[in-house]
Structure 1
Amino acid sequence: MTFSLVARCAETGMFGLAISSSSPAVAARCSYARAGVGAVASQNVTDPTLGPRALDLMQGGMSAPEAISQIQSEGKFIEYRQVLAIDTQGRTAIHSGPNSLGIWTQSEGRDVASGGNLLANDGVPDAIVAGFMNSTGHIGDRLIAAMRAGLAAGGEAGPVHSAGMQIVDHVSWPVADLRCDWTEECPIGAIATAWEIYKPQLDAYIQRALDPREAPSYGVPGDD
């Protein structure tokens, strides 16, 4: 019921992931990223413990392939799970259990990995990876381009209703965490619109947290 990608910007070291599904609030259950460590998408009959566990393993020194191998050995009902990971070196790994739903497949490229289940066709992850690798600019722009490429390639077998995009940089919290938890329209389009608005303000929100004395105002009520 889901297609996603995890990715790394080789120039900045930022990690990001984007995800969409016919299920509600997919990003709240499936998206995990940690600055200086990596990004993980845990999906398909989701076990929300697997994302943080994979990040802990990578933070402890494992590569993405090693972390996914450990997840495969210790995860409960792992045959139902689909887990994607990327690490600080841009290494990727994917576990897709044989009980993943519908048409399920995966794809990996330089600094990016994609996987999905209940897909319209088995070419969707390849299209997502190509969409990321062939795009330029901020990692957020590239994540959006990749998800749009996956949607154009067929996306999920049915309509998608939720989506999310998370980006981490040099601070301990996500510098962008945009979600559309339910819509009858296109949730990827909703995230893209939110990103257009949020992107110019991203650095200011970081500055407000680190030292609000130097942060600019955006003229909203109560914002001095």
Structure 2
Amino acid sequence: FSFIRILLSDRYSKHRGRPAEEPEFMFKICLLEYLYNLSDVQVIEHIRVNLAYRWFLGLNIADNLPDDTTISYFRVNRVGLDKFQQIFQHIINQCIEHGLIKAKPKRAIIDSTHIIADVAIPTWLTLVRQALKRVIDDLSLVNQVKAAYFQQRYEQLWEELKGKTRDEKLPHILKLAKELVESGESLPSEDENESSAILILKKVIADR
């Protein structure tokens, strides 16, 4: 992981601000989130009690942990999507070099169709959330890094919106949904399948 410090050197200043958390350390936390499907809040709680996580991060029992908001700031402001893709690709290349994964793995195509339940009339917020998560699932088939990025953005946003009303939550979820639609990613069945996740999300946004 030592290359991360060099790759992100342009995102840090030697002469301004408080001393920052090591980028290699912070990315390892993001990797734990990705591998174990954890939110920023959850990963900090796991690190507190999980010795394996502390060993991976180079932490002693008494070492202090960063706040969960520090993880969010690192992911969005220090790194961003492009840098995340570069880092993940570099790690994948290292895995290939060491024989941990094959350079051209066989691709598995699975049926990822989901049905929005009609057991009750869903709220707009529920519709947007369900459609957004379906698109992220489809996106993971063509671009796992970008899918992981939006999944973490969604989980972090939902955590931040706790305690707010549905009407207060909806604009923020819609904004993320629009950003996902506008990301320009080519998704399975986007052109020919009217029930595809991306088209449903576009329709929900347009109807709203």
> How does the TM-score come out when normalised to structure 1?
0.29
> How does the TM-score come out when normalised to structure 2?
0.31
Report the structure, 1 or 2, having the larger helix content: 2
Larger relative contact order (CA 8 Å, sep ≥ 6): 1
Report the structure, 1 or 2, having the larger strand content: 1
